[in-house]
Amino acid sequence: MALPYGAYNLAHWNDILVFCQYTEEGKRNIDTLYAQPAGKETTTWKFTLPEDIPDEPFEDFDFRSDRTVRSFSYLVGKEHVFAFGGETLFALDPQTGKLLWRRSVVIDPLKKAKARMRGHVDLIESDRSLLLVSRSDMLRFDLDSKMVAAELRTNLHYPSALTIVACGAVYCFTERK
């Protein structure tokens, strides 16, 4: 099996390889998630953020650009592939890529207004929950109710919390006060 040039963030679900690629369209960088069964030369499905999710500025704490991005983080979970972009969580069927559900975390009643899930978001599956870690915030999203169940931290080290998972525990750097 030969991977396409530029494939990154490789993962798998059973015998399906899942990977990301980005393309440039004008001044936009667009992430696309692909699934390719083992032994096959072509992909069977792809996912990009829906058009109703707005582009974000291509910037970080130390630079600005006139480009925009349509990027997302993803996780191959036990039963679903999860993608997170534009403060929205998407659940995909790993075999078909079909969108099973989506949920905006901005409208979630339990999420405090100051917690922001922008830029790169680490996704960690734990039992029937997902941990969402971004910038200085960590939220627990309940997969059964499809809602944010708790705001766990708001003092992680920004710009990168450097999420580490080891022996069933999640470690992040916090800001020194």
**Residue 20: is it exposed, middle or buried by C-beta count within 10 angstroms (0-12/13-18/19+)?**
buried
**Across 67-71, 88-92, 108-112, 126-130, least confident range:** 108-112
Question: Where residue 4 falls among pLDDT bands split at 50, 70, 90?
Answer: confident
pLDDT at residue 108 greater than cutoff 60: no
| DSSP 8-class letter at 121 | -
Q: Which of the two residues, 106 and 25, has the higher pLDDT score? A: 25
Domain spans of the chain, in order of start: 1-104, 110-177
Q: By percentage, how much of the chain surpasses pLDDT 70? A: 79
Q: Which of 120, 115, 131, 117 is nearest to 165 (CA)?
A: 131
The architecture (CATH level 2) of 1-104 comes to: Beta Barrel (2.40)
- pLDDT, greater one: 98 or 173: 98
pTM (two decimals) = 0.85
- Here the tokens at position 113 are 């207004």
pLDDT at site 114 = 47
pLDDT score, position 158:
62
Question: Is pLDDT above 50 for 18?
Answer: yes
The single-letter DSSP state of residue 164 is E
- Integer Cα distance of 45 and 36 in angstroms: 8
What mean pLDDT is predicted for residues 145-173? 72
| pLDDT at position 113 | 45
Tokens at residue 163, please? 């999420």
